[in-house]
Amino acid sequence: MNNGFLPVSREDMRECGIEQLDFVYVIGDAYVDHPSFGHAIISRVLESHGYKVGIISQPDWKDDNSISVLGRPRLGFLISAGNMDSCVNHYSVSKKRRSSDAYTPGGEMGKRPDHATAVYGNLIRRTFKDVPIIIGGIEASLRRMAHYDYWTDSFKRSVLLDSQADLISYGMGEKSIVEIADALASGIAVQDITFIPGTVYRTKDISGIYEPVILPSYDAMKADKSLYAKSFAIQHENTDFCIGKPLIEEYPGGIYIVQNPPQPPLTTEEMDAVYALPYMRTYHPSYEEKGGVPAIAEIKFSLISNRGCFGGCSFCALTFHQGRTIQTRSHESILAEAELLTKEPDFKGYIHDVGGPTANFRHPSCQKQLKYGVCKNRQCLFPSPCKNLYVDHSDYLDLLRKLRALPGVKKVFVRSGIRFDYLLADKDDTFFRELVEYHISGQLKVAPEHISDAVLCRMGKPENAVYERFVAKYKKLNQEMGKNQFLVPYLMSSHPGSTLKEAIELAEYLRDLGYMPEQVQDFYPTPSTFSTVMYYTGLDPRDMKPVYVCRNPHEKAMQRALIQYRNPKNYALVYEALTTAGRTDLIGYDKKCLIRPPKGNTTKSAPQKNHRKKTIRNVHKKKT
């Protein structure tokens, strides 16, 4: 029985009285019918418009028959690699295979292929040669144009070509997928569906495209990395629905990939409708014998309140995927979902999170944005808050107060990212006070990422002085309330712009702070971020200036070890890093030293300042 879930077998189809599905949705994740999963939203949205959708979850890509279990769909196949890029899902930044997959029943690894969107597309095309294929989800969205692929260390074509699909629905997709479905249902051939915002298609005729922006060709970018940097900057300027233009990328053989401008963001009413659809709010019951799907634990008692982000972090792909315009659900919608949570038998009274990409964004960054679009060449918060930035936490605060007051709710936590520079820009500190008093579970996670302003500039993050002001205010509020809550800063090593010099500066900062982080994230070059383009090209697309890039795995290990210099396992790497950088003054017994000399060396410290500058200069000359 399907038990309220969408069909996953012919038996389910018979129970529902379905002879042929309109769409078969092939997904790389387990089937979880919860609005935190993209496949659940898209399938339920299509269902609400009268379309019959079935799910094939994690098919065996080595078996052509695995794609035929629900038969031939009337209108087309949909494909999503899952809630994560399949390669991020599979590999750590060091390209080591992960041991488990939270999006697979029982956490089992290996149930989807690398580059799953392309593999699934080719699997379908071998069996159903003329059925339309529409790809979406974050993997397809971020690989919609030519892009650098870290895992193969290669410059890859648009995934539309590599998957043999007909269309990409990029971004969040609720509007575009319905328009695609309606067009197919009306009898329009898939090759003629070239007019829908939020889609990417291929063509050999671009003569009828209105006001296109011609990007460098794939061959030209492959031959000259700087052209890719320029192309990505143009793409990033066209992620807004008000000002975005059609983008055209040429490939050999006279083929063009055309990206239509984005769909308009969902209104509050539209967001509410999406989250009010009849989700089962859990994984398919067939997974029970394997212990369920681990990822559900993270989101089961959390609430999504917004989408989009105007934070502009260089290493984050959210802007490219969801856009910079904030979209929000109404209080009524969120409270109704919260009441559903309180009725769950395993609800203990704790709502784990109320947020989104950035928890404390609940409205567009300025009043002009919805009419005129976001600024092409200016960020809302970087390098400092824009004078037109609308800073107000009152709506979010009101929402949290209502949630706290619900019967059965003991505590409401905020665990999504808090943008601390936006928080400080608010002249009214009521929200900050109530955040500290009611919404922190002993520690607040924040993301300064680094302390070197040179690195922070490339990250698109505020200068370190801003974070210092935030830390001081946080401590002051905790003292006033008699609380002993901690800050857990997320830090990143080896980001473009970070040399051993900046890594040592960060280590010294942590020394003075008396803090050693348990977790450190090496920079991970995922598709379609400014930081990844820097990593690949050595240029910052925003100003086309050269950027130092740490690509050597051993140097990356040294930068990472410096952040955790107190860990005895890191001693050899830290010693080598300090010696290489000419900072042997930090090896000794003085309280300012990071590590002690090796056994048998009784030298207290060995300052070599003149030698240090020469060494650093020589090291960077060799590596660049």
| The pLDDT value given to residue 624 | 36
What's the whole-number mean pLDDT along residues 37-57?
Answer: 98
For 609, phi then psi, to 5°, come to: -60, -45
pLDDT band at 246 (very low <50, low <70, confident <90, very high): very high
* Residue 215 pLDDT > 80: yes
Q: What is the rounded distance in angstroms from the CA atom of residue 164 to the CA atom of residue 539?
A: 32
What's the whole-number mean pLDDT along residues 466-485?
Answer: 96
For 97, phi then psi, to 5°, come to: -65, 130
Structure tokens at 169: 């629905």
* Mean pLDDT lowest among 507-511, 576-580, 616-620: 616-620
First vs last C-alpha separation in the chain: 61
| The pLDDT value given to residue 2 | 57
Average pLDDT, the chain: 94
pLDDT, tens digit (0-9, with 9 covering 90-100), for 275-311:
999 999 999 999 999 999 999 998 999 999 999 999 9
**Residue that has been written with the tokens 């905790």 in this structure:** 478
Which percentage of the chain shows pLDDT scores above 70? Answer: 96
Structure tokens at 377: 């060449």
The pTM (predicted TM-score) of the whole model is 0.93
pLDDT, tens digit (0-9, with 9 covering 90-100), for 70-96:
999 999 999 999 999 999 999 999 999
Domains of the chain: 10-200 (3.40.50.280), 495-624 (no CATH)
* Residue 611 pLDDT > 50: no
| The pLDDT value given to residue 367 | 83
Q: Are 79 and 140 in contact (CB under 8 A)?
A: yes
More confident residue, 615 or 475: 475
* Residue 610 pLDDT > 80: no
| The pLDDT value given to residue 330 | 98
Q: What is the rounded distance in angstroms from the CA atom of residue 104 to the CA atom of residue 599?
A: 48
| The pLDDT value given to residue 604 | 47
Burial bucket for residue 564 (CB in 10 Å: 0-12, 13-18, 19+): buried
* Residue 613 pLDDT > 70: no
Burial bucket for residue 512 (CB in 10 Å: 0-12, 13-18, 19+): exposed
* Residue 220 pLDDT > 50: yes
Which percentage of the chain shows pLDDT scores above 90? Answer: 90
Q: What is the rounded distance in angstroms from the CA atom of residue 563 to the CA atom of residue 17?
A: 60
**In 10 A of CB 34, how many CB atoms?**
18
pLDDT, tens digit (0-9, with 9 covering 90-100), for 322-370:
999 999 999 999 999 999 999 999 999 999 999 999 999 999 999 888 7
What is the CA angle 91-457-453, rounded to 5? Answer: 105
Q: What is the rounded distance in angstroms from the CA atom of residue 201 to the CA atom of residue 262?
A: 13
| The pLDDT value given to residue 417 | 85
Q: Are 561 and 573 in contact (CB under 8 A)?
A: yes
Q: Are 488 and 415 in contact (CB under 8 A)?
A: no
What is the CA angle 146-152-153, rounded to 5? Answer: 75
